[in-house]
Amino acid sequence: MNFGKQFLASLLGSTLAMVIAGSLLIFIFVGALVGGLTSALEGVGEGSEMNLGFGGDIEEGSVLHLTFDAPLAERGMELPFTIQFGSMEPETQMGLNHFLADMERAAEDDQIEGILIQADMVSGYPSMMGEVRDALAEFKASGKWIVAWSEIYTQGAYWMSSVADEVYLHPEGGMDMRGMGMETTFYKRMLEDLGVEMTVVRGPDNTYKSAVEPYLRNDLSEANKEQLMALLEDFWARMGGDIAAARGMSIDELDGHINNLSVRLTADALALGFVDGLLYEDELHALLLEKGAAEDEDVPSHALLLGYSQYHNPDSFEDFITNLQADLEGDDGDEDEEEADGEEEANAVAIVFAVGGIESGEGDDATIGSDRIAGALREARLDPEIGAVVLRVNSPGGSALASDVIWRETVLLKEAGKPLVASMSDLAASGGYYISCAADHILAQPNTITGSIGVFGVLPSAGKLLKERIGLDFDGVKLHDHADAASMHKPIQGKALEAVNESVTSIYDAFIGRVAEGRGMTVEAVDDIARGRVWTGQDAMENGLVDGMGNLQDAVEMAADMAGMKNFDLVEYPEPIDPFEQFIAEFTGVAQMSTIAEAAGVPADAVEAMMEVEAFVNLQAKDRVQARLPFHIRVY
């Protein structure tokens, strides 16, 4: 038996054993979870950076402590943490919708004296990070103070922290200010070495649709370099402009410091005006007390810090235990409701959250399943109490077919007479734009990544891998000439490839037709700005793909105004997936292979790259044609 067969047999056996063992362990684990979770969370209560909320009143003079060490999510859950399978530890999350509302509340809250930002690293897309920074600026405009202090600042953390009235750094800390750049991973040589061929088709003139480049090239095309540089320039106009304005510099001065790597020591950061002082933690607390913060009774001479999660929901831990017990007892918590007599009046705005890659099927809270999101739009359309809808989109796109399924529901919603406003977050590109284009009004952030109006198909052939590496041979019979055209062991070619090309062209034509109809443009005008090119929100507004700039709250207010509603409720769709059910799914799933790979020493970014290739190889047949963003972007 050769190595390939031994490896596959071993992998299959190990995977099967993991699934069986995981299923058995559930019964043991669930019994111990409720009793053991309290002790597992000891030390993350009051005063901790990872404050999950254990009840209690907010004391006067509290300082809201923002660490941004939790990932930013588009939509937060009331339970602000999940249990991670790999570490069996709680992991917090921060929902943007909750954060924006909480900052408004904190600005008016007499118990909150000010805010301390202690962010070592904030990772995310510039758009969502910009919304967070804008909310902090609004808080400061209320007259309350913000102080920032950290042991080390990454660029994203410093951008966020620069909103503060005063910015401080640990005397032996550091600041990473190397400027902005982007990098793409290319898989062509790896796939060739493995014996996998990728046949790629693109829509006509989709020059900028560079999602396929990693499978065809070893470097960036000139068209791709052009659009990526345009994105970076717009990103830096916002980030660099904010930092320069906050620190009293010109953008040229800031760029000069970065290009010269002038900030090498903490003394450099102070001398060049990036920070207002170098403070140890005890000196920081003395400063906060001087500003009026209350003293922490448990930690003398320290200011009373209130974790964000505890401020958002002081009873989150108790809520988790209550919900968990209800799940285990099979109680869905629903009570019989009496139906109101007579015709109901529309008094609510529905926010439909569409977050993640777009695919056919149900999806989940991190994936846009066409069934789930189309169903949410349909439910909002048929509910007489819903007067208007905001479609909140944060998506790099995905399946062209699934995008069209969702798009159809947006059209039906408008035909029903209910205003629809699309609110673009970090991403509303390709399929993300497809599902937005029919809206009555589209709002974006200046650094939203949108456009990418184009389609492509990826058709893998693993013949060399299967035959030469693993030792499999194939033979068969066929009644018709192209019956084996979709075989995984040989590349598609001839008339079969012509048919795929024709299908991709048809889907692209439909895409730009949908956009032209929704935006009141000609097909030719859309095609001129399409061809797979990505645009920032600001550029998209100039070329007619977006109507204006605004955040989620702006979109809600606009939708309500279009529906003529002054006092209205907010309803969120679709219903979030139960966190306990999600945990069980992760606990038993073979998706934990990524955790195993990382434990074996494979770098996380390499695992992510391999998972990307695997995702394309295993696409459903109906999702083979993709309307997807050509890259991933993170600002650190």
Report how far residue 605's alpha carbon sits from residue 607's, in angstroms, rounded to the nearest whole number.
5
Write the CB contacts of 366 (distance below 8 Å, at least 6 apart in sequence): 355, 356
How distant, in Å, are the alpha carbons of 109, 143, 183, 203 from that of 165?
19, 11, 34, 50
Residue 185 has pLDDT above 50, yes or no: yes
Q: Mean pLDDT over residues 604-608, rounded?
A: 53
Q: How confident is the model at residue 346 (pLDDT cuts 50, 70, 90)?
A: confident
How distant, in Å, are the alpha carbons of 153, 281, 398, 504 from that of 284?
16, 5, 47, 60
Q: Mean pLDDT over residues 466-482, rounded?
A: 77
| Whole-number pLDDT of residue 56 | 54
Q: Strand 456-461: give its sheet, edge to edge.
A: 197-202, 456-461, 625-628, 397-399, 357-359, 367-369, 363-364
Can you list the domains of the chain with their CATH numbers? 39-177+280-318 (3.90.226), 178-184+222-262 (no CATH), 348-458+489-587+620-628 (3.90.226.10)
Q: How confident is the model at residue 278 (pLDDT cuts 50, 70, 90)?
A: very high
Q: How confident is the model at residue 607 (pLDDT cuts 50, 70, 90)?
A: low
Q: Of 187-196, 197-206, 368-377, give the lowest mean pLDDT range.
A: 197-206
Instruction: Output the CA torsion sign for 275, 278, 281, 283.
Output: negative
- Copy the structure tokens of residue 75: 């939509």
Backbone angles phi, psi at 279, to 5 degrees: -130, 140
Q: Is the CB of residue 192 less than 8 Å from the CB of residue 517?
A: no
Question: Which residues are tagged catalytic?
Answer: 209, 430
- pLDDT tens profile 307-318: 998 898 765 555
Q: Of 250-254, 328-332, 471-475, give the lowest mean pLDDT range.
A: 328-332
- Copy the structure tokens of residue 474: 């194939």
* Total-model pTM: 0.76
Backbone angles phi, psi at 116, to 5 degrees: -110, 120
- Copy the structure tokens of residue 178: 């190397």
Pairing between strand 456-461 and 197-202? antiparallel
- Copy the structure tokens of residue 220: 């960036």
Instruction: Output the CA torsion sign for 463, 467, 470, 473.
Output: positive
- pLDDT tens profile 396-419: 998 888 999 999 999 999 999 999
Q: How confident is the model at residue 531 (pLDDT cuts 50, 70, 90)?
A: confident
Q: List 364's β-bridge partners, or say none.
A: 367
Name the residue with higher pLDDT: 399 or 21: 399
Q: Mean pLDDT over residues 341-357, rounded?
A: 83
Residue 556 has pLDDT above 90, yes or no: yes
Q: What single string gives the DSSP state of each residue in 126-188? A: HHHHHHHHHHHHHHHHTT-EEEEEEEEE-HHHHHHHTTSSEEEEEEEEEE------------H
Going by the DSSP 8-state scheme, the letter that residue 219 receives in this structure is S
Residue 559 has pLDDT above 50, yes or no: yes
> What is the residue-averaged pLDDT of the chain?
80
Cα 112–chain centre separation: 30
How distant, in Å, are the alpha carbons of 69, 280, 289, 313 from that of 304?
20, 17, 9, 18
Q: Is the CB of residue 583 less than 8 Å from the CB of residue 26?
A: no
Cα 237–chain centre separation: 22
Residue 108 has pLDDT above 70, yes or no: yes
Closest CA to 311 of 143, 163, 139: 139
| Whole-number pLDDT of residue 132 | 94
Q: Of 10-24, 335-349, 468-482, 594-608, give the lowest mean pLDDT range.
A: 10-24
Q: Of 35-49, 320-334, 407-421, give the lowest mean pLDDT range.
A: 35-49
Q: Mean pLDDT over residues 188-205, rounded?
A: 82
Residue 460's identity, in one-letter code, is P
| Whole-number pLDDT of residue 46 | 39
Q: Is the CB of residue 528 less than 8 Å from the CB of residue 516?
A: no
Q: Mean pLDDT over residues 108-114, rounded?
A: 96
Backbone angles phi, psi at 202, to 5 degrees: -130, 160
| Whole-number pLDDT of residue 325 | 55
Residue 112 has pLDDT above 90, yes or no: yes
Q: Mean pLDDT over residues 326-330, rounded?
A: 55
Backbone angles phi, psi at 278, to 5 degrees: -110, 115
| Whole-number pLDDT of residue 22 | 46
| Whole-number pLDDT of residue 510 | 92
Q: Is the CB of residue 400 less than 8 Å from the CB of residue 434?
A: yes
Report how far residue 380's alpha carbon sits from residue 416's, in angstroms, rounded to the nearest whole number.
11
Instruction: Output the CA torsion sign for 366, 622, 429, 630.
Output: positive
| Whole-number pLDDT of residue 582 | 55
Residue 459 has pLDDT above 80, yes or no: no
Residue 28 has pLDDT above 70, yes or no: no
